[in-house]
Amino acid sequence: MSEKQTLGFQAEVKQLLQLMIHSLYSNKEIFLRELVSNASDAADKLRFEAIANPALYEDDAELKIRITFDADARTLTIADNGIGMSRDEVIEHIGTIAKSGTRAFFDSLTGDARKDANLIGQFGVGFYSAFIVADRVTLTTRRAGLPADAGVRWESAGEGEYSIEAVDKAGRGTEIVLHLREDEGELLNDWRLRSILRKYSDHIAIPIEMLSTPEAADGDEPAPAAVFEPVNQASALWARPKSEISDEQYREFYKHVAHDFEDPLAWTHARVEGRQEYTELLYIPSRAPFDLWDRERKHGVKLYVRRVFIMDDADKLMPLYLRFVKGVIDSADLSLNVSREILQGSKDIDAIRAGCVKKVLGVLEDLASNEADKYATFWQAFGNVLKEGIGEDFANKDRIARLLRFASTSNDSNVQNVSLADYVARMKDGQDKIYYITADSFAAAKNSPHLEVFRKKGVEVLLLSDRVDEWVTGHLTEFDGKALVSVAKGELDLGQLEDEAEKEAQKQVEETLQPLIERVGKALTEQVREVRVTHRLTESPACLVASEHGMSTHLERLLKSAGQ
């Protein structure tokens, strides 16, 4: 058991390491932020497990992170007394990429270092970023609660293999030693390390300590020994007053909670008092992660109770249609023993969630009206998720409807930037409905024969071609007192848009064509319910129409392709 074993990385890890070293080199100091972020997560996990099992503290309840370096050995060490890892956990978390979407990630790489650096940021690299500056990394860890001889040492040069062996480790937690590359000597510098820590990790809630030598007192007394002192403020960022937090700090905190390398698009931070007392700090990311559509994904909103971490990905705190929101909710009232099961039907949680949803919608409304570029970025990344809210969140349906953006015949571009309010403002005199068409693709929507009469009359039609749009239009039947109507369904009633003379002429045509209609109807009895004269086409001779209350042809196709 104590024998040293050499194991191969999962193929993707090796590929990822190479890619990372090359693409993140220009921003290499972020490795320290990543390792400190992991140490802080490990402290959170320990504190949480210790609620039920205080013995895990092993008489060392002051959680902290220590950074030291040895200029002669050219090593930099990051040590924590957090939860630590067992042997199996080391193999699982450090030797594998347990992330879904890994294949998709590699397939999307371009070979262009700049672009790939962005992609890799989206994917999240974490621990492996150590190899940007180190050519050998030694991780020694012991899980809290296990005996001293259950320590594990993992070592790798980041080239496809790692070794793992059992060691004794007196203190619990994880110590990571970076053997710095030849040209990374500048990191062996007290001032340099402090400035990196202050820049990227000031928001970390536990102390990050470095050795400092107190000023020698006057006279010939020997210089006092160096002592560990915190470099950061060591208080939970969300609990600090807003006026004392810089945008930079908000951004760095986001990268830590969201495990993202990119800056967030926007955030909301508030202390809420009333029936429930809590603090929320919630972020809108600027890019969709690879696994947005993966139901197993984690890293959503973290729940804390009076600064104690309780759980990651507390899905009861955010409705599904806001699953892209990241951040922290810290409750002053919940019990520390709260579990997922308890959250399930809790009225307190419902109240917190309702409050947070309102805050998030408020942020989005603010972007939509004041920062159009950012809102466009948001919509592109998450519009399809937000749309689900139309059917999911009855209480906020109207607010969500105002946030929707569509492509439209107003500019025939596939960019979704037309709001329902824009549409209503442009409605023709006498128009009392909002017209839309759903189709499999933007091109199919745009070229649909159903649009001919609308184009002729200059009436705008929304062009819907996302999968979720059928669901949206099924739940959104009215906006601002105006019915939403599919131009492909039922008898088309253009209401006041048709003038009397036109109606008279149409009646005449219908009478003349009656015999033809009867013949066609007979020929197609098996295939269609009804054949009728239409005035909605100006160029095409005929088209298929879904019945008013039946499924739309698009939905019918979707169900068929799903095997229904």
Q: How far is the CB of 380 from ligand ADP (least distance, A)?
A: 24
Q: Binding partner of residue 291 among Mg ion, ligand ADP, none, CB under 5 to 8 Å per kind?
A: none
488 binds ligand ADP (CB under 6 A): no
DSSP bridge pairs for 155: 138, 163
Q: How far is the CB of 124 from ligand ADP (least distance, A)?
A: 5
- What is the DSSP-derived secondary structure letter of residue 269? E
Which of 117, 361 has the CB closer to ligand ADP?
A: 117
> 42, 133, 360, 404: which one contacts ligand ADP (CB under 6 A)?
42
Residues 144 and 49 sit within 8 Å (Cβ to Cβ): yes
Alpha-carbon distance 548 to 126, whole Å?
Answer: 53
Would you give the binding string for ligand ADP spanning residues 49-88, x where CB under 6 A is met?
-------------------------------x-xxxx---
Strand order in the sheet with 462-464: 413-418, 406-408, 462-464, 433-438, 482-486, 478-479
* Span 121-140, contacts to ligand ADP by CB under 6 A: 124, 126-127
Which of 52, 98 has the CB closer to Mg ion?
A: 98
Which of 84, 300 has the CB closer to ligand ADP?
A: 84
DSSP string, 479-521: ETTEEEEETTBSS---GGGS-HHHHHHHHHHHHHHHHHHHHHH
CA proximity to 464, closest of 390, 360, 564, 547: 390
* Span 93-152, contacts to Mg ion by CB under 5 A: 126
CA proximity to 325, closest of 307, 309, 342, 302: 302
355 binds ligand ADP (CB under 6 A): no
Residue type, 545: V
Q: Binding partner of residue 83 among ligand ADP, Mg ion, none, CB under 5 to 8 Å per kind?
A: ligand ADP
CB proximity list for 465: less than 8 A, separation 6 or greater: 407, 438, 439, 440, 441, 442, 444, 445
Which of 208, 338 has the CB closer to Mg ion?
A: 208
Dihedral sign for Cα 236, 239, 241, 247, please. positive
Q: How far is the CB of 35 from Mg ion (least distance, A)?
A: 8
Confirm whether residue 85 is marked as ligand binding. Answer: yes
Q: How far is the CB of 127 from Mg ion (least distance, A)?
A: 6
CB proximity list for 363: less than 8 A, separation 6 or greater: 266, 267, 268, 282, 284
How many residues bind to ligand ADP according to rule CB under 6 A?
16
Query: Residues 349-353: contacts with CB within 8 Å, 24+ apart?
Result: 349/316, 349/317, 351/275, 351/276, 352/276, 352/278, 352/280, 352/317, 353/316, 353/317, 353/318, 353/319
Determine the distance from the C-alpha atom of residue 260 to the mean position of all C-alpha atoms in its chain, rounded to a whole number.
Answer: 9
38 binds Mg ion (CB under 5 A): yes
256 binds ligand ADP (CB under 6 A): no
* Span 21-40, contacts to ligand ADP by CB under 6 A: 34, 38-39
CA proximity to 442, closest of 406, 474, 476, 472: 406
Confirm whether residue 115 is marked as ligand binding. Answer: no
> 142, 256, 259, 353: which one contacts ligand ADP (CB under 6 A)?
259
300 binds Mg ion (CB under 5 A): no
Residues constituting the chain: 564
User: Which phi-psi region, left, alpha or beta, contains residue 546 (left: φ > 0; alpha: ψ -120 to 50)?
Assistant: beta
> 102, 156, 174, 201: which one contacts ligand ADP (CB under 6 A)?
174
Confirm whether residue 122 is marked as ligand binding. Answer: yes
Confirm whether residue 125 is marked as ligand binding. Answer: yes
475 binds ligand ADP (CB under 6 A): no
* Span 361-390, contacts to ligand ADP by CB under 6 A: none
CB proximity list for 323: less than 8 A, separation 6 or greater: 292, 300, 315, 385
Q: Binding partner of residue 93 among ligand ADP, Mg ion, none, CB under 5 to 8 Å per kind?
A: ligand ADP
Which of 143, 536 has the CB closer to Mg ion?
A: 143
Q: Which residues are annotated as a binding site for ATP?
A: 34, 38, 80, 85, 99-101, 122-127, 174, 340
Q: Name the site residues for ligand ADP (rule: CB under 6 A).
A: 34, 38-39, 42, 80, 82-85, 93-94, 124, 126-127, 174, 259
Binding site residue list:
34, 38, 80, 85, 99-101, 122-127, 174, 340
